[in-house]
Amino acid sequence: MPANLPPQYYELERAFKEEKDPREKLRMAEELLRMMPKHKGTDKLQAEMKSKISKLKKQIEGGGGKTHGARQAAAHDHIEKEGAAQIIIIGPPNCGKSSLVDAMTHAKPLVADYPYSTREPLTGMTEFETVQLQLIDTPPISSELYENYLNGLIRNSDLVLLVADLGSQKMIEDLQYIISLLEEKRILLKKGSSETPEDVRISFKPTVICAHKEYEDEDGAKQRKLAELFPEFKMVATSILDDDSLHLLKKTLYDSLGIIRVYTKPVGHEPDFNDPIILPIGGTVEEAAVALHKDFAKKLKFAKIWGEGKFDGQRVQSDFVLEDKDILEFHM
């Protein structure tokens, strides 16, 4: 079976071979793996790339990837993904990033009323309708501070949550500074992730703006200003005192990831709604089977499906395109 790799893959592969920085090579290798179609024709290619990724991680963890004396960067510039997606939270000092993580996860970041209280990244898990999402709290970004390891963390994340402080007089200036600074580092914050940059060194990151501390914007003027100046981003107003706003934020994050949930049911049993298979939008029955186990997919004869707009128990083949919340029953 042919690999059917996209043209962008070969361009990025050339850049990967020429790159000398192990951390940047790791980012490129993970992007190459992500770009590979998941089918039998790429099994060997996937295995080779996973091996390269493993070697690069060992090189970096062993100290071989230190550059420019950035010892701290070596400790924080890569965080293993957990759950369905990794979402990095960035913003200016005292915007409320840590309070959001505290309210939405079981992590316990240092929440203080003075700037720069967060000095290292901290992870926590939050849940949206049985889907586990990994949140990363990060040090603030300002003209006084930018931790270089944030480059790698942002590039490797699936989604960026940019926090705007509705209680700050510098809210617009702070956001514009962060967006411009990341552009200088070839990280472009975008509404979605469908675009592919011509320059493979550039990373497009889908981004949601969190208009935080909504009760400090009594007439909504600052939220309207944000929507006017940054129309290219989805925006959600939040407060740690408003559970509904936090739920809406989780839903917006999930909707922005471009993924679907697929549930499975053993033959003759009820569906398991606790641990869905996570696939990109457009994912197929075969990809769902591969997500369970590669050998399992090879033995698959057909599947039965339940879902909105479908006949219950409809028989489908491996190339059938799935939708969010479909239920699959695999037959060998």
Domain with 318 in it:
260-331
Q: Are residues 219 and 250 in the same domain?
A: yes
At 77 the pLDDT is: 65
DSSP SS3 for 34: helix
Q: Are residues 184 and 276 in the same domain?
A: no
Dihedral sign for Cα 328, 37, 182, 118, please: positive
- CATH number of the domain bearing residue 320: 3.10.20.30
At 192 the pLDDT is: 67
Q: Are residues 18 and 102 in the same domain?
A: no
**Total structural domains in the chain?**
3
Q: Chunk the chain into consecutive blocks of 10 residues (it has 332) and report each block's average pLDDT, rounded to whole numbers.
A: 74 84 81 80 86 84 48 58 93 91 79 57 90 93 88 90 94 95 90 65 89 91 93 92 94 93 89 89 90 78 85 87 90 82
Q: Are residues 89 and 221 in the same domain?
A: yes
44-51: long-range contacts (C-beta < 8 A, 24 or more apart)? 45/3
Q: Are residues 134 and 252 in the same domain?
A: yes
Q: Are residues 140 and 19 in the same domain?
A: no
At 161 the pLDDT is: 97
In a domain, 92, yes or no: yes
DSSP SS3 for 102: helix
Q: Are residues 251 and 264 in the same domain?
A: no
Domain-ending residue, one of 235, 257, 279: 257
Instruction: Give whole-number Cα distances, 250 to 1, 13, 79, 238, 239, in Å.
Output: 39, 35, 21, 11, 13
Question: Could you please report the per-residue DSSP string of 179-219?
Answer: HHHHHHTTEEEES-S----SSTT-EEEEEEEEEE-GGG-TT
In a domain, 210, yes or no: yes
Q: Are residues 235 and 144 in the same domain?
A: yes
Is residue 125 within 8 Å of 82, Cβ to Cβ?
yes
- Taking the whole predicted model, whether its pTM rises above 0.85 is answered as no
Is residue 222 within 8 Å of 175, Cβ to Cβ?
no
Q: Are residues 239 and 274 in the same domain?
A: no
Q: Are residues 295 and 247 in the same domain?
A: no
At 80 the pLDDT is: 86
Is residue 205 within 8 Å of 190, Cβ to Cβ?
yes
At 74 the pLDDT is: 43
- 104-128 per-position pLDDT tens digit: 987 766 555 545 555 688 889 999 9
Q: Are residues 211 and 319 in the same domain?
A: no
Q: Are residues 213 and 320 in the same domain?
A: no
Domain-ending residue, one of 198, 222, 257: 257
At 1 the pLDDT is: 53
